[in-house]
Amino acid sequence: MSRFISAAALAAGLMVAASAVKAEDTVRFWYHFDNADNPMSALVEKFEAANPDIKIEAENVPWNSYYDNLYTSIVAGNGPDAAMVKMFAQPRLVEMGALEPIGDRIDAWDGKADLQDNLLDLTKAANEETYYLPVQYVVLYLYYRQDMLEELGLEVPKTCEEFRDVAMKLTRDTDDNGQPDVYGFGFRGGKGGHDHWASLVLSRGVDFEKGSLTSEKGVEGTQFVVDLFQKDKVFPASTPNDGFKEVIGAFKAGKTAMTIHHIGSSNGMVEALGDKVSAAPVPECGGGRWTSFGDESTAVFSSAENKDAAWKWISFLSSQGNNAEFNKATGQLPVTKSDSKEWTLHDKRFVDATVNSLPFAHLLPNVPETSDFVNTVWPVNMQRALTGEITAAEMNAAIDDLYNN
């Protein structure tokens, strides 16, 4: 009898354990979308229908405060279970012990073979661990007003010298106050504008190693940017504070004739401007080219209570069909080969500009300092340099000090 009771008790215990495993698990997921269209609710509904034991709480966190909130929540012990993440944040997150390695999970995942080549290599950590699963990507290029160039008999600029000349000629139609009605280039002086600066500076064979930015070439590059604003006046007066919305809005409204962004904004450009807008690789400056590989991945955090559920969710987002739906709304490119073959959501000229820019696309240094560079050091010092509070040399010295002292 005692054996029977023990067996019954054991069976009851197993049933309780089983019910606990089947109980609803919640995955808190943070993400950020610039675009108004948001596919997340539909994707969550689809996932939960297929996985009734898992509940997804997806929160859209504003981009301007995204990483400040993320770091703070992790330190406070209240971070999400999974989130969208960029490469510049990876070193700090690794340093904080916040990321769960997912290399083994990816290797065992059926969807691995469908990922675009090299994406996993590009997003690998400095310690050779894999913490990120790519979910979308872009490469930045030069947008330009084809109609304005044709009107003035101008060619698409291929070098920095040509870029300056074309930008000056496109800056025209001054109003009664002497302010141009059209500016040659929309420069993003606020947060996120480091990609504009990098294309005009890092292309010169300059990097973040000690003494590189403070070299003659490095200072010359930043001075070139400052002069475009202060002397040539080809950037709008609002440039020091302009962010994504201001720069893209001005281009769509015909207030600027060129800017730098990626394919994610191309459909909106076409909607506003039709065939008047086109794209090409960024100009060659100082003998080279540099443009930004725009990464976006997802990660599971080490504090997640149910890492299996969190992995199941992020791998769902990077799987065939789901990834297409995700990127149809975000306006970026799918990471799956299968979805890419059927991709028709962007005009060919923008896809070509992306592909032709890949040979010189780069990521910022994969070190903890890059997070401060992106969020604080670059925007603060760029704004100060543009307004004349500091020199180009002082700006570059501040960046060099961040990375090398």
Q: Mind listing the pLDDT tens digit for each residue in 63-96?
A: 889 999 999 999 999 999 999 999 889 999 999 9
Min mean pLDDT across 38-42, 188-192, 313-317 is at: 38-42
What is the strand order of the sheet 141-145 is part of?
A: 258-261, 141-145, 277-280
CATH code linked to domain 141-292+364-404:
3.40.190.10
Domain-by-domain residue ranges, the chain? 23-137+293-361, 141-292+364-404
Residue 76 to residues 70, 131, 216, 303, 359: CA-CA distances in angstroms? 10, 21, 44, 11, 41
pLDDT at 16: 39
Burial class (CB in 10 A: 0-12, 13-18, 19+), 388: exposed
Are 23-137+293-361 and 141-292+364-404 the same fold in CATH?
yes
pLDDT in tens, 179-213: 889 999 999 999 999 999 999 999 999 999 999 99
Mean local confidence (pLDDT), 136-142: 93
Whose CA is closest to 299, among 12, 47, 97?
97
What CA–CA distance (Å, rounded) separates 314 from 115? 14
CATH 1.10.10.10 fits 23-137+293-361, yes or no: no
Tell me the average pLDDT of the chain: 91
